Chains A and B, each alone.
Chain A
Amino acid sequence: DVKVTQSSRYLVKRTGEKVFLECVQDMDHENMFWYRQDPGLGLRLIYFSYDVKMKEKGDIPEGYSVSREKKERFSLILESASTNQTSMYLCASSLIVRANEQFFGPGTRLTVL
């Protein structure tokens, strides 16, 4: 079974802090994604990566950056957290084959005070 794990289920940070959200997948997938999920807005793509050290902006990259130093790990970074970044963050991975299924982690609920 494909497993996508996220470092924390719940996280509380203060405004201005630097925040790292970690995601690890164990199926040797090339593609990895970060989404945020907000009530009434569905999921929105923040960043994705199709290879180590490669990254592409999604629909809402402002205020975020990412790092992919190893194939299995994809990190989302909030350089200076703000209250409007309070949200559920979901990581996903997939094979490089077009339109292949994305496998999602359980999510990290981040609250910025």
Chain B
Amino acid sequence: AQSVTQLDSQVPVFEEAPVELRCNYSSSVSVYLFWYVQYPNQGLQLLLKYLSGSTLVKGINGFEAEFNKSQTSFHLRKPSVHISDTAEYFCAVSVMAGGGADGLTFGKGTHLIIQP
């Protein structure tokens, strides 16, 4: 079975500062990796995903993430955050196995708090 660890439950950052949200995963097989964002009172929305190829993945709203296989990490970064980035961020994995549907395994989430 696979698991996802988000090391920080809350990350406070000043507006226009850079931010990194950390994600590590564990799996005995190769995985696909995702970052989702949940704004207050809304469902989840995909930020970016890594399937294969270049280890640096760019997503929406200026976010990017880097896949590091040796460290089993997929950290999310943004060079300059805005108040509107205040949200809950979830890292998730699905396995490259046979079958028709992919349930995601999620981390516990990181609450990004932007301070003016």
- Give residues in A with beta carbon < 8 Å to B: 4, 30-31, 33, 35, 40-45, 48-51, 56, 58-59, 90, 92, 94, 96, 98-102, 104-107
Contact = CB atoms under 8 A, between A and B. Distances in A.
Interface residues of B, number: 27
Interface centre among B41, B102, B106, by most chain A C-beta atoms within 10 angstroms, is B102
B103 A96 contact: no
Interface string B26-55: 000000100010000111111001010000
B17 to A, nearest CB: 26
22 contacts: A4-B43, A30-B100, A31-B100, A35-B106, A42-B6, A43-B104, A45-B103, A45-B105, A49-B101, A50-B99, A50-B101, A96-B101, A98-B32, A98-B96, A98-B102, A99-B49, A99-B51, A101-B46, A102-B46, A104-B36, A106-B42, A107-B43
Interface of B: 6, 9, 32, 36, 41-46, 49, 51, 90, 92, 94, 96, 99-109
A42 B102 contact: no
B90 A43 contact: yes
A49 B99 CA distance: 11
A104 B43 contact: yes
B90 A48 contact: no
A99 B103 contact: no
Nearest to B32: A99
